[in-house]
Amino acid sequence: MLEEFGGGFRASLQVASNFFPQIIGKGGQTKMRLEKETGTKIIIPRKGVEGDIVVSGTQRANVIRCSNRIDVMVASSRQKQPFTHFVSLPINQTNIQEAFMDFKKEVLETCCSQRGVEESIFQTRTLLHLTIGTMALFDDRERALAREILEDCKEQIILPARGEQAFKVDIVGLEIMNDDPSEVDVLYAKVEDPSGDLQTTAEKIIDRFVESGLMKRDYDRIKFHVTLMNTLFRKDKDDVGDKNEANHRESFDSRGILELYADRRFGSVEISQIHLSQRRAGRRTPEGYYLPSTILNITSCG
């Protein structure tokens, strides 16, 4: 917020304290350079204290320019951070869990001789989900904003377009994201959205989060999928498995699985909730799903 005061102009920037070091720089050099180049004064809360960064100066344009540069620095730094929260669609209904467990049992029986195929790389059945988008949230203000955005999506996006109807999708077929089925990190189940309503709604939700600065749009279009097997799970069963981080990971040979189960049908599912889920929260819901920061019930009985 930019305001005029007796000595000129000032702006208060809501920035999580995690980003203060990037703005200060080694020995305060980044902060001093910004002040010199923009003709402003930057006040940053001391270490361990949450609060706004205040930019002040005698010229309105200079204050705006400095504020914009800080916003760019924060956005760039945020993109490099591992995500802490993700907007998820639980699809761990009983029929899908049972179909997944049948698939897991058959694969372990028929493809156990394939390199790297073992129980530890299968998803936990209660965590089956679709991901709309991921983000790094670092303080209470950012988490509150994310909750507000998601809750607003129901009133502004979902209800006007379709009322309180649940989304219906089919989980059919297998897919990998690389070209060599003998060297695979992740195996997915494909998602069919016959009406296209889920795709349209999810894209609009992504746009709201991107506009807020909390999320980066990684792809032009969301590709919905259900992670079934992920080599990251060998070391981290609490992980989401939606991003290939720079961990050492051993691939597996999926050729036998694709040959036998490429067209596997897991069933149809109604999606009646959208979650703002916490990554690595240390605990889960009573149903075994990711701990939510908030739950958006699409249907009145959700």
> Does residue 287 carry a pLDDT above 50?
yes
Indicate if the pLDDT at residue 115 is higher than 50.
Answer: yes
In the chain, where the domains are located: 2-79, 85-297
* 55 in Cβ contact with 70 (< 8 Å): yes
pLDDT band at residue 236 under the 50/70/90 scheme: low
Residue 302 has pLDDT above 60, yes or no: no
User: In whole angstroms, how large is the CA radius of gyration of the chain?
Assistant: 23
pLDDT at 248 over 70: no
CB atoms within 10 A of CB 26: 7
Contacts of 95 (CB under 8 A, 6+ apart): 267, 269
Q: What is the pLDDT of residue 50?
A: 78
Q: How far apart are CA 82 and CA 279, in angstroms?
A: 10
Please provide residue 131's backbone torsions phi and psi, each rounded to the nearest 5 degrees.
-110, 130
Other C-beta atoms lying within 10 Å of the C-beta of residue 135: 22
Higher per-residue pLDDT: 197 or 240:
197
Stronger pLDDT, 260 or 80, i.e. the higher one: 260
Residue 301 has pLDDT above 80, yes or no: no
pLDDT tens for 30-82 read 999 999 999 999 999 988 777 899 999 999 999 999 999 999 999 888 888 89
On average, the pLDDT of the chain sits at 91
User: Residue range 183-211: average pLDDT?
Assistant: 95
138-182 pLDDT tens trace: 888 999 999 999 999 999 999 999 899 999 999 999 999 888 999
Q: How many CA atoms lie within 13 A of 131 on its CB side?
A: 23
CA pair distance 16, 50, nearest whole angstrom:
7
- Which neighbouring-strand residues pair with 53? 13
Residue 139 has phi, psi (to 5 degrees) of -150, 175
Per residue in 219-234, pLDDT (tens digit) is 889 999 999 999 999 8
Select 2-79's CATH number: 3.40.50.2000, 3.30.1370.10, 3.20.20.450, 2.30.30.230: 3.30.1370.10
pLDDT-derived band at 239, boundaries 50, 70, 90:
low
pTM of the model: 0.84
The pLDDT tens digits for 85-109 are 999 999 999 999 999 999 999 999 9
In whole angstroms, what is the distance from residue 63 CA to residue 197 CA? 43
At residue 246, the pLDDT reads 47
**What is the greatest pairwise CA distance in the chain?**
77
CATH superfamily placement of domain 85-297:
Cyclic phosphodiesterase (3.90.1140.10)
Output the CA torsion 31→33→36→39 (10° steps).
Answer: -50
Residues 196 and 211: beta-carbon distance below 8 Å: no
Burial class (CB in 10 A: 0-12, 13-18, 19+), 22: middle
> pLDDT-based confidence at 238, cuts 50/70/90?
low
Q: Is the pLDDT of residue 240 over 60?
A: no
